A = this chain, B = another copy of it.
C-alpha cells in the first residue's frame, strides 16, 4: 500500500471510540473484581478508581486514559478472537497498574493524582498498602480462575511485567538520592516502570486468544517501545504540561527533583547551559527552601533544560520509540484493520496533552 494511503487509513481510525471500547468492556469486570474485597478495602479501591468520592458518594470519574485496556482487547483480535477474549487480561493489567499507583504514591509522598487527593492522604498509609496488595492479588486471580493453559501463560507474562515495574520503582527511588543519572539508566528505569506493563497489555489478549510465543513476544516489543514513547511524552508533560490538562502542579517533575529524561539528557548534553543547569541543580539539592521556590525559579530551570537541548532530545526520543514500535508490528500477521488500530493508538500516545 502506498504511504499516503496508509496514512489515510490510520487517520480514519477513531481512537476515542477505541479507548471507549476498552473502557466499556473492562470496567464492569473490574468493578465486579473490586466488589470481592472485604470492607473497607472495597470502598478504598472504589475511591482510588474514581467511582466514589472521599465521602462515599458515587462520582463519574473518567478513570484515566484507558490506553492499556484498549490495547489488551485489541490484541485479542490479532489471533482472530473477539475483543471480549482480552477482557480478563485488560482487567488484570489495570489491577496491576493501579496496585503500583497506590504504592508508588505512598512511597513517593505524592498527595494528588487525577485532580484528587491520593488514597494514603484520604484513607491513611495502611489502607494504601493493603488495598494495593489486594489489587495485585486480584490480578492473578482474575486470570488464573479462567483455568486454561493460555491463562497460565498470560499470568506468567503479567508476573514478569509486575516484577519489572517494581524494579523500575526501586531504580527510580535510588536515582533520587544520586547527583547524576545517565540517559541509559533513565531509559532502563522507564522501560521497567512503563514499558513492561504496556508490553504486557499489548500482548495479553493475544496470549489469551492462543497466540504462539513469537507473536506474543513481538507484540510485547511493540508495547515496550510504545511505553518508552509514552513515558518520554509524560516526562515532557511533567515539566511543560498544562496543569489544567494533566491534573498536576506546574513544573511538577521539577518540584519533585525527578531525574526524568529531559533533565538527564540536558545534563549529558554538555555546553554552557548544560553546565549551568548542573551547578544549579547541585546547589538546589543542598537547599532547605526548595519546596517554596517561586514559579519564576522553576521556570528558570525549565528554560535551562530547554536551552541545553533536553526538551528537543526527549521529543525526538518519543518519535524514535514510536517508529520502532510501529516497525515491530510488521513482524506479526494480523488483520489490516487491527494493525491500523495499533498504529493509531501509538500515534495518539505521542500527541496526547495529558
A interface residues (Cβ-Cβ under 8 A, vs B) = 36-41, 99, 103, 106-107, 125-126, 129-130, 132-134, 136-138, 140-141, 144-145, 147, 149, 151-152, 155-156, 159-160, 162-163, 166-167, 169-171, 173-174
Nearest CB on B from A142, distance (A): 9
Chain B residues whose C-beta falls within 8 Å of the C-beta of A151 in the assembled complex:
152
Cα separation A166 to B132 with both chains bound (whole Å): 10
Interface of A is mostly: helix
Nearest CB on B from A92, distance (A): 11
Besides A37-B167, A38-B171, 14 more A-B contacts (Cβ < 8 Å) are: A36-B163, A38-B167, A40-B170, A41-B166, A132-B133, A133-B136, A134-B167, A137-B159, A137-B162, A137-B166, A140-B140, A144-B156, A145-B156, A151-B152
Contact in complex: B40, A174 (CB < 8 Å): yes
Contact in complex: A130, B163 (CB < 8 Å): no
Chain B residues whose C-beta falls within 8 Å of the C-beta of A140 in the assembled complex:
140, 155-156, 159, 162
Q: Given A40-B174, A129-B103, A170-B41, check contact A144 B155 (CB 8 Å).
A: yes
Contact in complex: A130, B144 (CB < 8 Å): no
Contacting A173 at CB < 8 Å: which of B130, B137, B145? B130
Contacting A130 at CB < 8 Å: which of B126, B136, B169? B169
Cα separation A109 to B163 with both chains bound (whole Å): 26
Q: Given A130-B107, A167-B38, check contact A160 B141 (CB 8 Å).
A: yes
Nearest chain-B residue to A138 (Cβ)? Answer: B163
Nearest CB on B from A168, distance (A): 9
Q: Given A137-B159, A144-B159, A160-B141, check contact A129 B130 (CB 8 Å).
A: no
Nearest CB on B from A143, distance (A): 9
Contact in complex: B40, A126 (CB < 8 Å): no
Contacting A103 at CB < 8 Å: which of B130, B152, B159, B173? B130
23 sampled A-B residue pairs with Cβ under 8 A: A38-B167, A41-B170, A99-B133, A103-B130, A107-B125, A125-B125, A126-B173, A130-B169, A130-B173, A134-B163, A134-B167, A136-B136, A137-B159, A137-B166, A138-B163, A140-B156, A140-B162, A141-B160, A144-B155, A144-B159, A149-B149, A151-B152, A152-B152
Chain B residues whose C-beta falls within 8 Å of the C-beta of A41 in the assembled complex:
166-167, 170
Cα separation A162 to B134 with both chains bound (whole Å): 8
Chain B residues whose C-beta falls within 8 Å of the C-beta of A166 in the assembled complex:
41, 130, 133-134, 137
Chain B residues whose C-beta falls within 8 Å of the C-beta of A170 in the assembled complex:
37-41, 130, 134
Contacting A137 at CB < 8 Å: which of B130, B147, B149, B163? B163
Contact in complex: A144, B152 (CB < 8 Å): yes
Chain B residues whose C-beta falls within 8 Å of the C-beta of A152 in the assembled complex:
144, 147, 149, 151-152, 155
Contact in complex: B126, A129 (CB < 8 Å): no
Cα separation A39 to B138 with both chains bound (whole Å): 27
Nearest chain-B residue to A145 (Cβ)? Answer: B156
Nearest chain-B residue to A126 (Cβ)? Answer: B107
The 10 closest A-B pairs by CB, nearest first: A152-B152, A144-B156, A140-B159, A107-B126, A137-B162, A137-B163, A38-B167, A141-B159, A134-B166, A133-B166
Chain B residues whose C-beta falls within 8 Å of the C-beta of A106 in the assembled complex:
129
Contacting A163 at CB < 8 Å: which of B132, B141, B159? B141
Chain B residues whose C-beta falls within 8 Å of the C-beta of A174 in the assembled complex:
39-40
